[in-house]
Chain A
């Protein structure tokens, strides 16, 4: 695009993913982050909401930071389907020309974003963990841990618009709602026909959200290679139960088959921001820390005093996890013999 064409693109958009009429958390996290970034560029934040029967959501989006909400409410958009959602979003983007489009890096977001970016022939940085604005260049810089242990890479999209990024759930703070905020609602009509849509959703099964997933846990006890073997996780589970915490793991024990991938925290696993994080035999490579660095209180137990985790832990115990964790378990039992 020529410099003049680039200048036609203004504003920051956030795609709002919803499930059964409820926005997913990462979309709200992105509204808050988007608000901060848009203020630096002096532009509006637009939330784009697609679905059926989603009319109850828009006010909440404004409270979380949107200035405008574009609503595409239609039976054809009831289930997420790549083609339908891509068609709707691309049409609006071509009409309004936003300079930035952010999408949560959920399963659906990572299915949708590359499809849109290919149609618009623009760049999309996948699964990033940091976003900031280069004011001088008027660019969004999307950073992500990159191939290997302690590397980060900054990505930009200098010559195409909109600049797209998918953002890992949990890495941006969920800002408080501001119920005084006002915004504009824009309803758009769809002219998609069911017979033109090639994919059918035959069944959707989602486990009921009980608020106790790893991502939402208040306390998490994470095991790394320092545990030594698969039995280490049984010990960790005991500690976690006493603390009413969830168990997590770094990538290596998952790769070693000690614990399932559902428990993995980090760039290729889940991002968490609990009130209490305890890392047991965790070295703290960026692959892992990218998914937990925003935890409120970080405790590290590691035998190696030079482990990276001690650079960002609040409290550390230098010692063998297989001695320290049993001592913690014993202490918790003594404190509360009823457990």
Chain B
């Protein structure tokens, strides 16, 4: 069973600048890490490979430095990495990202299952998985906390806010996974060395996947961030209750009592 895992490099820090012109985050020069939720997707793929065999490809789109995230995936035991990197891809929203990933998947062609983390820690949209499934006309199974494959059928336990569902579909399909599905392995030193020395990361540009430039990057993105701003939330003045802890506590209890909140 061949699998492709879509991963993203996200900024390590939350202290990050943005381009006031486009509203896009400035990712260049900011240290990146592999999106934590994507490690769960990688681990799920490794687990399925142990049971069912097959080749696992990690696929990412980003600036050249995103290769580090692919190397990390390789050191976990993923077979090969593909980085989609081209200045044409810059500023992509979720739809344009999905479009670009979709073309790369059409070029990869041989896969039975696509796995994605549910969401990235920076954008937190959880949209790329479902949008990619739609563009590839695949069934989507989102928010998985368990996956079982039986020949050509795949079953997941889908997490809901107040319970779960068991869903089934036929391969090929796309699955997004929750953080709690597994505990991603920590690569051993020799597999890290192997990932850098023996394994390959291919880099594909726009021309390699044959895409139409009007669908790429900022140009191909229907959503625009118009404004990024610091927001100080304010609602009227605060009344500070002074005094020793027991005096302040007593005063607060009196206030709650008067307001009918006890």
Contacts and interface: CB of A to CB of B under 8 A. Distances in A.
Contacts of A219: 261
Contacts, number: 234
Interface of A: 82-83, 86, 106-108, 110-115, 117-119, 121-127, 141, 145-160, 198-207, 209, 213, 219, 243, 267-268, 275-276, 284, 286, 289, 293, 297-300, 308, 310-320, 323-324, 326-328, 330-332, 335
B182 interface: no
Contacts of A320: 245
B245 A327 contact: yes
A321 to B, nearest CB: 10
Interface in B124-178: 124-135, 139-143, 155, 158-170
A202 B223 contact: no
Contact of B222 (A123, A148, A284, A323): A123
A114 B165 contact: no
Given A115-B140, A148-B16, A243-B262, A331 B231 contact: no
B164 A205 contact: yes
Given A124-B223, A159-B222, A202-B167, A150 B232 contact: yes
A268 B36 CA distance: 14
The B contact surface, by secondary structure, is mixed
A216 to B, nearest CB: 11
Chain B: number of interface residues, binned into ranges: 35 or more
Interface of B: 11, 14-16, 23, 25, 93-95, 98, 122-135, 139-143, 155, 158-170, 221-236, 238-241, 245-246, 248-250, 252-253, 255-256, 259, 261-262
Given A127-B124, A153-B225, A155-B223, 10 more contacts: A115-B131, A124-B223, A150-B232, A152-B228, A198-B170, A204-B165, A276-B256, A276-B261, A314-B235, A331-B253
Given A115-B140, A121-B222, A324-B248, A275 B261 contact: yes
Contacts of A154: 225-229
Contact of B224 (A112, A152, A158): A158
A268 B125 CA distance: 11
Given A200-B169, A286-B231, A332-B253, A106 B246 contact: no
A324 B95 CA distance: 49
Contacts of B143: 107, 111
A213 B71 CA distance: 42
A145 B229 CA distance: 10
A330 B249 contact: yes
